């Protein structure tokens, strides 16, 4: 009887198999080749570190004149992140964003597209109340925009909603007008990651200019459409 030589590839394959631990080959748990999703504990830890960093800033008139920091509200795991301008008197008192009249309108706006406030994440460009509720100055927007960018990176939203010209300026600069930029999906790159953005009017502006609500309603419908398109759970 003629014995055929073993195929060289078979020999190499067998040697490779013998070089591995049996427990490794037949490991019951699958090998995770993908990056693990951040846990809520990890995200909240990063948020606490950012809040501490903002609380420790110095030479800031906003901080010196405010009662407390107004950091954020809502679900830190949400795919939707809303950015407003800055705290008002009510927000300064309670330490939460959008709790005054503008906040009540925001709640209604979200409800109109079947979103509960507690299912989104909310913050502002500046985290301390500007004196007399004035608009933050360009230098203040520029200073806090660095914190905002870090904030966005931590939350890592699928959809970023910028409410008002201050939020728009913080990420896109002051050379553009909100009346021309609202209602159109845009993109912003933060830490080498691209985020889709919808710019719309701030609820406080809508309280003063009720005739502009029709434009905000159009923006809201676009946001709802994108949520459904991306199959996001909110």
Give domain limits for the chain: 37-230
Nearest to 161 by CA among 115, 101, 219, 100: 219
Q: What are phi and psi of 186, to 5 degrees?
A: -125, 175
| Amino acid 18: pLDDT | 52
Q: What would the CATH number be for the domain defined by 37-230?
A: 3.40.470.10
What is the C-alpha separation between 110 and 122, in angstroms, rounded?
12
| Amino acid 37: pLDDT | 77
The verdict on pTM exceeding 0.75 is yes
List average pLDDT for each run of 10 residues in the chain, which is 234 residues long: 54 51 46 68 98 97 97 98 98 98 98 98 98 96 98 98 98 95 98 98 98 98 98 96
Nearest to 128 by CA among 116, 109, 143: 143
Strand-pair category, 80-84 with 121-124: parallel
| Amino acid 35: pLDDT | 57
Q: Is the dihedral of CA 132, 137, 139, 144 positive or negative?
A: positive
């Amino acid at each position: 009887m003629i014995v055929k030589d073993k195929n060289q590839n078979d020999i190499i394959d067998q040697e490779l198999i013998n070089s591995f631990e049996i427990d490794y080959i037949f490991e019951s748990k699958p090998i995770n080749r993908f990056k693990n999703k951040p846990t809520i504990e990890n995200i909240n830890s990063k948020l606490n570190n950012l809040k501490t960093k903002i609380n420790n800033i110095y030479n800031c008139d906003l901080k010196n004149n405010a009662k407390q920091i107004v950091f954020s509200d809502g679900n830190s795991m949400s795919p939707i992140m809303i950015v407003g301008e800055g705290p008002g008197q009510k927000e300064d008192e309670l330490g939460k964003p959008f709790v005054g009249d503008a906040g009540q309108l925001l709640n209604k706006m979200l409800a109109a597209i079947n979103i509960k406030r507690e299912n989104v994440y909310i913050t502002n460009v500046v985290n301390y109340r500007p004196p007399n509720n004035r608009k933050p100055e360009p230098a203040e927007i520029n200073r806090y925009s660095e914190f905002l960018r870090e904030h966005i990176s931590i939350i890592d939203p699928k959809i970023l909603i910028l409410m008002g010209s201050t939020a728009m300026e913080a990420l896109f600069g002051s050379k553009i007008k909100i009346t021309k930029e609202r209602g159109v999906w845009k993109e912003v790159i933060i830490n080498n990651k691209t985020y889709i953005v919808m710019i719309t009017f701030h609820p406080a502006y809508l309280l003063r200019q009720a005739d502009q609500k029709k434009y905000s309603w159009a923006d809201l419908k676009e946001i709802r459409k994108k949520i459904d398109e991306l199959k996001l759970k909110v």
